[in-house]
Amino acid sequence: MTSSKTKYTKLIKAYAKDLGFMSCGISKADFLEEEALSLEKWLNQNHHGEMSYMANHFDKRLDPRILVPGAKSVVSLLLNYYTDQIQEDSKAPKISKYAFGRDYHAVIKDKLKTFMTYIHSEIGEVDGRVFVDSAPVMDKAWAAKSGLGWVGKNTNLISKKTGSFFFIAELIIDLELDYDAPATDHCGNCTACIDACPTEALIAPYQIDGSKCVSYLTIELKNQIPLEFKGKTDQWAFGCDVCQTVCPWNRFSTQNQEPAFNPSKELLYLTKKDWEEMTKEVFETLFKNSAVKRTKYEGIKRNIKFISS
């Protein structure tokens, strides 16, 4: 006879698929021992730059049972955002594919709330919280633990089936489930990401100096971009896709099935001149529900000025 644990596991994985998630893996909510050492070392080397929040809630970041009292399972979910659509003007400032459409936080949060409602209706009194890149959760570590991929040399989660153009989200719940085995590493001898990184932020395989990463420089950094990076940011005005684009596993990326992530023609057709002359009003209208709003108008103008002057 199927145990209730197995029954609930199957139920959760099937519903994840119904909601449009490309993968679902489950791991036991426990202390992340290996990650504790590497996170401490990374912080001590100041590789988080001005991202001071990375040093906050150290214990919660490493143990979901502190973050969500009574937690027994971490349900990791992947949502594809890949698109083969590109910006028309090759000389225009570039933005990451993940920011082409509607802000993923809102899109995924809606799905996760629906997910929890479903769990309550089908399973009963289950307590927990949902997360999408908005709390001290080591999402890549949990996704790797639950077999959804491995953390590659570019420090992104990579899947053999689908590459790495996806968002990671979690349900941390007080329900015991069947747990998946971790995935194995398939980077092999490849160093494409390290060789291609425009600012040499990938200082060694599986190690990133976040303070040199173009995504950090164009989004997280609030001060002026250091002059040492002049001419090295490869026209990126928001984020950077280089280490993913060159990854051989991304030849398996497929078009996302989420209409909210589709870019507007208006965005794709912006010319270099359009970007440089963009007014605050145009910015606010074009990026009203976009992740790009995170930099604010002043941030985008700073980034454009840095890459074009």
- Domain range annotation of the chain: 4-85+98-173, 192-253+262-308
Q: Quick check: 66 and 135 in contact, CB under 8 A?
A: no
Cα 200 to chain centroid distance, Å, stands at 20
pLDDT value, residue 41: 80
31's tokens: 């202390």
Find the angle CA(252)-CA(256)-CA(258) to the nearest 5 degrees.
165
Find the angle CA(86)-CA(89)-CA(93) to the nearest 5 degrees.
85
232's tokens: 């090295």
pLDDT value, residue 59: 82
Among candidates 144, 121, 118, which has minimal Cα distance to 12?
118
What is the gyration radius of the CA atoms in the chain, in angstroms? 20
pLDDT value, residue 38: 83
Longest dimension (CA), the chain: 69
Compute φ and ψ for 127, nearest 5 degrees.
-100, 150
pLDDT value, residue 50: 67
Residues involved in catalysis: 133
Q: Could you tell me if residue 228 is left (phi over 0), alpha (psi between -120 and 50 degrees) or otherwise beta?
A: alpha
- Cα(88)–Cα(140) distance, integer angstroms: 32
Q: Which residues of 75-106 are buried (b: 16+ CB within 10 A; e: fewer)?
A: bbbbbbbbbeeebebeebbbbbbbbbbbbbee
Indicate whether this model's pTM tops 0.85. Answer: yes
pLDDT averaged over consecutive 10-residue blocks of the chain (309 residues)? 88 98 97 82 72 71 92 98 97 97 96 97 95 88 97 97 97 97 96 98 94 95 95 96 98 96 95 97 96 96 93
Q: Could you tell me if residue 149 is left (phi over 0), alpha (psi between -120 and 50 degrees) or otherwise beta?
A: left
